[in-house]
Every structure is written in C-alpha cells, then in structure tokens.
Amino acid sequence: MPDMQTIIGTLLGVAPPKYGDYILNKVVALVPMRHHSQRVPGKNYRPLAGKPLYQYILSTLLACPEISQVVVDTDSPPVIEGLRAHFPQVLALERPEHLRADQVSMNEILAYDTSQVPADLYLQTHSTNPLLRSATVSRAIQALLAEYPAYDSLFSVTPLKVRLWDQLGRAINHNPAILIQTQDLPPVYEENSCLYIFTRDNLLKRRNRLGERPMLFPIDAAEAWDIDEELDFAITDFLMSRTAQ
C-alpha cells in the first residue's frame, strides 16, 4: 500500500505506481440512497427544481477530478433506473436486504460498500445536499491530503456564531454576564453531514467514519443545506429555482 505522499502525487498528475495488476491511489465517492424515507417521502428521487434530487449530487461528484469513481448504494428501483438512463458511468450497488432497515447504522452500510469497491480513500456524501459544489468537494479532498497523517479523516462542518445553551440553562459558548455581538463570539461547529473522507482501515477499526484525528472542514451554511424535512425541500427548491432563472 503506498503512503499518502504517493496518493498526493497521483492526484497532482503524477502516474500512480502499479502493484501487480492493480493501480492504487483511488478516491471513491459513496452516495447511499434509500428508497424509503421517514420524514420526506421518496425524497431521493423526488423532483427538485425540475429534476430528481439525487441527480444534483452525482453531477457535482462527477465534476471533481480527484474522484476516480462514483458509487450509489441503493434499494430504490427509480434510482437504479435513473442511473442506467442518465448516469451509466456511476456504479450502482444494490443494498442487501439485511442493511435496509431504518435502524441499521450508516457505518455498517459503508463497511459493506467499501468491501465491494476497493480504494485508498472514500468520500461519502448524500443526495440531500444538492447545493454542494464540486469545487468545495475538491478542496476538502486536497485539504486532507495536504495534512495527512496529522489528520486521518475529515468531516464537514458549519460554523455557528450564536449564543448556545444546554438543557440545564448553562451557557455553552459565551458568558451571559458579558454581552458581546454574536459576530464576535468564538465559533462552534455543527456537523452538517455534507462530506466525510476516510480510509477503510479506520472505518473497520473504529466502526466509524471518523478517525482518531479528524479534520473539521468548514462549509458555508448556504451551500451546506441538508434536506431532512419538508420545509428544507421547499426552501431548497426555491433557492435552486431562483438560481436557475
């Protein structure tokens, strides 16, 4: 297995070394998509601003030169049919029956996916992040590669400068006795689920996408919008329709 410096060289255009018949230094993007959705029915394939939701993130990932292959893990017939018709270059993995229940952890799904498609690095995102830009995805990959192994994984965050309290009424990130403007508060970070970058080794050792030394990668809130509720769908549809005008 080559070290990360070799991987960096490959992504910068240096020919990767061959180990037997297999060329290493591969970054694979994984996009899990369930047919069933609890809060927004059929959201992964529901039309958003004129086309199915999942098509936005696939176009974003396919435009990233650092990504060698895009893989969709799904149990959804409409998604599988759409991939065949519009994204033949995307690999469709049919999710096994034992991984389709609501209570199955995403980490278990990723463990299966990474067993099916070998790579040096995996990037996982969601179809519910249609505003995510390919330039942002590329920057995230490059950021981790530049700092590896000081950081062994990456996840995206949204910086927040608001006054936060816990359930006992205790201030988390500010002193109530000293009132300052919110823009002057030290930021706290919300895990926004837009991007995770990890190795299979870390995933299997920790049963988690996050390694021991994860890098926080900030993304602007407007780009990090995640569709989790009907209101999110309506707002995102409005934003994308306005952008298309």
Q: Is 141 exposed, middle or buried (0-12, 13-18, 19+ CB in 10 A)?
A: buried
Cα(50)–Cα(52) distance, integer angstroms? 7
Closest CA to 74 of 59, 92, 51: 92
- pLDDT, tens digit (0-9, with 9 covering 90-100), for 59-118: 999 999 999 999 999 999 999 999 999 999 999 999 999 999 988 999 999 999 999 999
Residue 244 belongs to some domain of the structure: no
Q: Which residues, in sequence order, are CB contacts of 70 under 8 Å at separation 6+?
A: 28, 29, 31, 58, 61, 62, 87, 89, 90, 91
- pLDDT, tens digit (0-9, with 9 covering 90-100), for 20-33: 333 337 999 999 99
- Per the structure, the complete domain to which residue 218 belongs is given by 4-157+191-238
Q: Per-residue pLDDT for 8 more than 70?
A: no
Contact 144, 214 (CB under 8 A): no
Residue 11 belongs to some domain of the structure: yes
User: Looking at residue 85, which CATH number applies to its domain?
Assistant: 3.90.550.10
Q: Nearest-5° angle of CA 7, CA 11, CA 13?
A: 115
Residue 169 belongs to some domain of the structure: no
Residue 181 belongs to some domain of the structure: no
Rg (CA), the chain: 19
What total number of domains does the chain contain? 1
**Crossing angle for the helix pair 53-62 and 134-147, to the nearest 10 degrees:** 50
Residue 166 belongs to some domain of the structure: no
